[in-house]
Amino acid sequence: MKFKSTIFHAFIYIILVIGILLILFPIYLTAVTAFKSAEMTAQNFFNLPPRLYLDNFKTVFSNSRFPVYFFNSVIVTVISVGIIAVFIPAVSYSIARKFNKLYYRLLYYAIVGGIFVPFQVIMIPEVKLVSSLHMLSRAGIIVLYVSFALAGNVFLMVGYLKTVPLELEESAFMDGCSVFKTYVRIIYPLIQPMTATIVILACLWIWNDFLLPLVILYKSDKVWTLPLFQYNFRSQYTFDYNLAFASFFASIIPITILYAFMQKYIISGLTQGAIKS
C-alpha cells in the first residue's frame, strides 16, 4: 500500500514538473529573445544571450507607437476594472439579499446564463449593434468589457455574499443605517477578498484580450491596444522577432507584477466563502 502511494505521489510530481516547464519555457524564450540581437538569435535561438542587448527595447519605445498602445491598454484596463469593482458587487448584493423574490431570481439566471454563450455566437450581432450606436471606440469596448464580466463574476459574488451573515446587516439597520450605508461600511469591506479576485482576473483578461479589440477597434490604429499592435508587429518590422519579443516582454511586466502582489486574494476569495461561519 505504501509503495503504491509513493508511486502515485511520484507520478503527480512528474506531471506538475512537466506542467511548470510547459508554462516557463515560453516565458524563457520571450525573455532571452528580447535581450538578443538578430545575430545572437541566429547563432543559437535557445541559449542565454552572451550579453544583454537593450537596443530592441530602445527601438520599440522610440521608433514605434508602442507608448500610445501601452497607454490605450492602461486606460481601457483601469477604467473597465474600476467599473467592474464597483458595479458587480452592488448588483450581486441586490440579487443575493432578495433572492427569494421571483424577479431577482430570474434576473440572476438571465445574467448567469451568459456563461454558456460563446463569444463567437454573439460577435457579429455585437459588432453591428456597437457600430449602429457609433461606439467603435475605447468607450464602446469598456462598456462591452463590463457587460461581459457580469455573468461569471455575478455568479461568484452572489455565492460569496450568501455566506455573509445577515445578522450584521440587521444590527446596522437597528442602529439606523440605511441600506446604502450598510453596504458601503459593512458589506463591501467584508467582500474584499472576492472583489480582489474579480479585479485581478478582469485585469488579466482585459490586458491580454485580443479578439474583442480586433472586432471593435479596427477602424483606427490610434485606439489599438497592445495585443493588436503586437499582432501587426511582424509586418511592421519585417519579421524581426527580436523586436517583437521585446514588445511582448515589456507588455507582460506590469500585469505580472500586479498578479504577483494580488494572486493570494484569488485563493482566499474562492475558498474563504466555503469556510465562513
Query: What confidence score (pLDDT) does residue 31 get?
Result: 86
pLDDT digits (tens, 9 = 90+) for 1-34: 666 678 888 888 899 999 899 988 888 888 888 8
The helix, strand and coil proportions of the chain, stated in percent and rounded to the nearest 5, come to 80, 0, 20
Which range has highest mean pLDDT (26-30, 142-146, 231-235)? Answer: 142-146
Domain locations in the chain as residue ranges: 1-53, 54-275
Q: Is it the case that residue 198 has pLDDT exceeding 50?
A: yes
Q: Is it the case that residue 50 has pLDDT exceeding 60?
A: yes
pLDDT digits (tens, 9 = 90+) for 149-185: 999 899 989 988 888 888 888 888 888 888 888 888 8
Query: What confidence score (pLDDT) does residue 88 get?
Result: 94
Closest CA to 57 of 41, 78, 37, 43: 37
Rounded to the nearest 10 degrees, how much is the dihedral formed by the CA atoms of 55, 57, 58, 64?
130
- In the chain, what is the greatest distance between 2 CA atoms, to the nearest angstrom? 75
Angle (CA) 169-175-177 rounded to 5° is 65
Residue 132 burial (CB count, 10 A): 8
Q: Is it the case that residue 269 has pLDDT exceeding 80?
A: no
Burial class (CB in 10 A: 0-12, 13-18, 19+), 17: exposed
Q: Is it the case that residue 238 has pLDDT exceeding 70?
A: no
Query: What confidence score (pLDDT) does residue 274 get?
Result: 42
Q: Which helix (H) or strand (E) holds 155?
A: helix 138-161
Query: What confidence score (pLDDT) does residue 192 get?
Result: 85
Contact 190, 269 (CB under 8 A): no
What is the per-residue DSSP string for 11-67? HHHHHHHHHHHHHHHHHHHHHHHHTS-HHHHHH-SSSPPSS---HHHHHHHHSSSHH
pLDDT tier at 73, thresholds 50, 70, 90: very high
CATH architecture of the region 54-275:
Orthogonal Bundle (1.10)
Query: What confidence score (pLDDT) does residue 189 get?
Result: 86
pLDDT digits (tens, 9 = 90+) for 239-254: 567 778 888 888 888 8
pLDDT digits (tens, 9 = 90+) for 101-120: 999 999 999 999 888 888 88
Angle (CA) 153-251-152 rounded to 5° is 10
Q: What is the pTM of this model?
A: 0.81
Span 200-220, average pLDDT: 89
